Copies of this chain bind each other. A is one copy, B any other.
Amino acid sequence: MRTPEAYKESLRAMRPNVYKFGELIEDVTEHPATRRSVEGHAQIYEQAMLPEQEEVFTTLSSLTGERISRYLSIIRSAEDMLANSRMKRRMFNLTGTCTGARCVGWNALNTMWSVTHDIDKKFETDYHHRLREWILYAQANDLAVAGALTDPKGDRTKAPSEQEDPDVHLHIVGWEEGGITLRGAKVMIAGASAANEIFVLPGSKYKDSDADFAVACVVPRDMEGITIVEARHPNDGRDLEEGFDNPVDIGGITQGYILFDDVVVPAGRVFMAGEFGFTGRLIERFITPYRSAIGGCVAGQGDLMIGAAVLMARANGLSERTFRQKLVDMSINNETTYGMGIAAAVLGKVHSSGSWLCDPLLANINKVHVATLPYETKRITQEIGGGIAETGCMPSWKDLGSEEYGELLRKYLTADADGMRRAKAARMIEWLTLGSGVPGTMHGGGSPDGARMFVSSKTGLEEKVKLVERLMGEDEQDPGE
């Protein structure tokens, strides 16, 4: 297992292929647009080395028996899924935001563990073996692996093969002896800059006419033909600034547009190529654990909102007791997304490949909670924080340092002896609620309405109707008789 420094060193050794604001980023570990994301991911490597975190952040490989990062393990039980939720909550606690360059790739490899098993069973392919080999390699090198599903999609009313430009979904444009050639893009991909490799999955369920779009594989992030443009995010201008206007230095997110310009992927790294009939279950198996464990993510950020709100109240000279009901409501929101994820894990079952499948009804309900409850938590945080925190309404770091009027500003921002602490807490609330810390969890992993469709289909109406009919009595009473 790697040290944080070894991890960063591996990033520096890669071909520079990440851009932002029209310019190539030479070193993602230093450039202000990507540095915080890398630091966030580096903390995962750091945690794994702490004895007290060993049980959460590492596990024994079910393939080799070696101790490995949990982020590269096969999830084989409810307990493994619980550790997933715990780890995600802790990483949000430690970085303030998302560390997608390890979690999404992990989710992808677990998805494919069972799906390749199913495909092989039907088609006698050797995808499962290939995947196993790659996992062994990844575990041995303790890789950071991002995951990429979302296609640009073009006209949403048309299937991939019906689009005017087929490239709006990533697809296979060449079948060579030793591999396949890919063209298109994956967009809004979390943590690509901080990743060593990218696990590519199809973005939706496909029919036979769209077989070329049914592709799963894993590629080095700097492979020939891959270009990444990092997207903007709220307040991202401040990433480039000095001072506490961007209050977090050890965490941050990137969401990249990954362009595939005829990328040749060797066969050993390909785990699905044309088996469209398995894309439906692939999607379901990807989103189910994802939508379970993401409850830990938003709870972890919610923990910080509670902490920041209390800090702010105290910095204003108030007791947090004033806001007890609000803090209780925040805690309820946090633990509900966390707890529902736990429940979805526990009510799951084992797949014949040995991997654990979470309960899809509860997982999708949790997705709806994740798309609503944290918004109310943010609102309450801003309510406790006051006008200064609501929109981060304070002079800039530069103004606070002005020789002309900075001293006056600093005096007016201060509420107690603790100097700039109130200003820093307000900036933190801004960062969490409408700044760079906002992780985009509402649509990450699919839309809430998609989740509601699942809830609808998994609720079991007929069974419930039968229960009522039984309770009302079999014999048809008729008042007229």
Instruction: Determine if A388 is an interface residue (Cβ-Cβ < 8 Å).
Output: yes
CA distance in complex: A459, B307 (Å): 11
Min Cβ gap A53→B in Å is 15
Given contacts A19-B399, A383-B447, A480-B407, contact A390 B442 (CB under 8 A): yes
CB within 8 Å of B: which A380-395 residues = 382-383, 386-388, 390-395
CA distance in complex: A434, B24 (Å): 28
Contact pattern, A 211-249, Cβ under 8 Å of B = 1, otherwise 0 = 000000000000000010111111111100101110111
Min Cβ gap A396→B in Å is 5
Q: Contact at B464–A307, with CB atoms within 8 Å?
A: yes
Contact pattern, A 135-152, Cβ under 8 Å of B = 1, otherwise 0 = 000000000000000101
Given contacts A155-B317, A466-B307, contact A396 B22 (CB under 8 A): yes
A369 partner residues in chain B, CB cutoff 8 A: 332, 336
- Pick the most buried of A95, A320, A396, A400: most chain B CB atoms within 10 A of its CB: A396
Contact pattern, A 419-448, Cβ under 8 Å of B = 1, otherwise 0 = 110001100101000110011101110011
Instruction: Determine if A30 is an interface residue (Cβ-Cβ < 8 Å).
Output: no
Instruction: Determine if A310 is an interface residue (Cβ-Cβ < 8 Å).
Output: yes
CB within 8 Å of B: which A25-62 residues = none
Q: Contact at B394–A231, with CB atoms within 8 Å?
A: yes
Copies in the complex: 4
Min Cβ gap A29→B in Å is 19
Residue from B185, B419, B456 within 8 A of A327 (CB atoms): B456
Min Cβ gap A449→B in Å is 8
Residue from B234, B342, B378, B404 within 8 A of A346 (CB atoms): B342
- Pick the most buried of A361, A406, A412, A424: most chain B CB atoms within 10 A of its CB: A412
Q: Contact at B396–A232, with CB atoms within 8 Å?
A: yes
A93 partner residues in chain B, CB cutoff 8 A: 467
Residue from B325, B419, B461, B472 within 8 A of A247 (CB atoms): B472
A425 partner residues in chain B, CB cutoff 8 A: 468, 472
Q: Contact at A387–B346, with CB atoms within 8 Å?
A: no
Q: Contact at B412–A168, with CB atoms within 8 Å?
A: yes
Min Cβ gap A376→B in Å is 8
Interface residues in A, total, Cβ within 8 A? 154
Residue from B19, B328, B396, B472 within 8 A of A424 (CB atoms): B472
Q: Contact at B306–A464, with CB atoms within 8 Å?
A: yes
Q: Contact at B227–A412, with CB atoms within 8 Å?
A: no
Q: Contact at A443–B386, with CB atoms within 8 Å?
A: yes
Interface-facing stretch out of A1-9, A121-129, A250-258, A273-281: A250-258
Contact pattern, A 454-466, Cβ under 8 Å of B = 1, otherwise 0 = 0110010100111
A391 partner residues in chain B, CB cutoff 8 A: 233-234, 255, 438-440
Q: Contact at A331–B365, with CB atoms within 8 Å?
A: yes
CA distance in complex: A465, B257 (Å): 29
Q: Which residue of B lies closest to A447 (CB)?
A: B386
A456 partner residues in chain B, CB cutoff 8 A: 324, 327-328, 331
Given contacts A156-B415, A187-B412, A419-B478, contact A443 B21 (CB under 8 A): no
Instruction: Determine if A272 is an interface residue (Cβ-Cβ < 8 Å).
Output: no
Q: Contact at A480–B440, with CB atoms within 8 Å?
A: no
Q: List the 7 closest pairs (A to B, CB-CB), nearest first.
A: A237-B237, A387-B443, A339-B343, A307-B464, A400-B479, A307-B468, A152-B412
Instruction: Determine if A397 is an interface residue (Cβ-Cβ < 8 Å).
Output: yes
Instruction: Determine if A350 is an interface residue (Cβ-Cβ < 8 Å).
Output: no
Min Cβ gap A464→B in Å is 3
Q: Which residue of B lies closest to A300 (CB)?
A: B467
Q: Which residue of B lies closest to A437 (CB)?
A: B471
Min Cβ gap A386→B in Å is 6
Q: Contact at A397–B479, with CB atoms within 8 Å?
A: yes
Instruction: Determine if A63 is an interface residue (Cβ-Cβ < 8 Å).
Output: no
CA distance in complex: A407, B412 (Å): 49
A210 partner residues in chain B, CB cutoff 8 A: none
Instruction: Determine if A372 is an interface residue (Cβ-Cβ < 8 Å).
Output: yes
List 30 interface pairs A-B (beta carbons < 8 Å), by A numbering.
Answer: A20-B399, A152-B413, A156-B318, A168-B411, A185-B408, A229-B405, A229-B409, A231-B396, A232-B392, A233-B393, A234-B392, A304-B471, A307-B461, A308-B468, A325-B325, A331-B361, A332-B365, A332-B369, A336-B369, A339-B343, A340-B343, A342-B346, A343-B346, A372-B379, A383-B442, A387-B447, A390-B443, A400-B480, A406-B480, A428-B472
